Amino acid sequence: MIGLGYDIHRFKEGRPLVLGGVEIAHSHGLDGHSDADVLSHAIADAVLGSLGLPDIGHWFPPGDPDCKDISSLRILEKAAALIREQGYELVNVDATLIAEAPKILPHRTAMQENIGRALGLPAERVGIKATTNEMLGAIGRREGIAAMAVAQVRSV
């Protein structure tokens, strides 16, 4: 079974930029109730969607004070736990970040390791790629970052 996830967050001054659980030096972070890790959010929704479970907003409501500034790696841990509770296991995840900046490649391995650890997957089964939006739209104007992801699960 396969799930698809998508997320987008706008930039906000005064916040750290966190992608895949890695803090990246950049002029702006992303706006959100949690750490706004757009990559982890897209992956979590893909994992949850693989079994038709509610999205991360159901499990981590944006207005819940307990969710304020939490690490999105915890969201991934919860998504993986829900999959296991249903009698399934993750096979792999594959994600693409869409941003004009910053460069992702220098942080890719650390992201794979963080996400893999949170999901209970070997890092080599966590695909992370990046592309630009060719200067088109809000992402092209450097207003934020988006991410897409797929996750494959199988019954155990």
pLDDT for position 122? 98
Residues 53-60: what's their mean pLDDT? 95
Residues 81-88: what's their mean pLDDT? 97
pLDDT for position 62? 87
Strand ranges (DSSP E) for 2-137?
A: 2-12, 17-19, 22-24, 29-30, 88-98, 126-131
Per residue in 101-136, pLDDT (tens digit) is 999 999 999 999 999 999 999 999 999 999 999 999
**Closest by Cα among 69, 94, 85 to 12:** 69
Range of the domain at 113: 2-155
Split into its structural domains, the chain has a count of: 1
CATH number reported for the structural domain that contains residue 76 in this entry: 3.30.1330.50
Per residue in 18-53, pLDDT (tens digit) is 999 999 999 999 999 999 999 999 999 999 999 999
Neighbours of 61 (CB within 10 A): 12
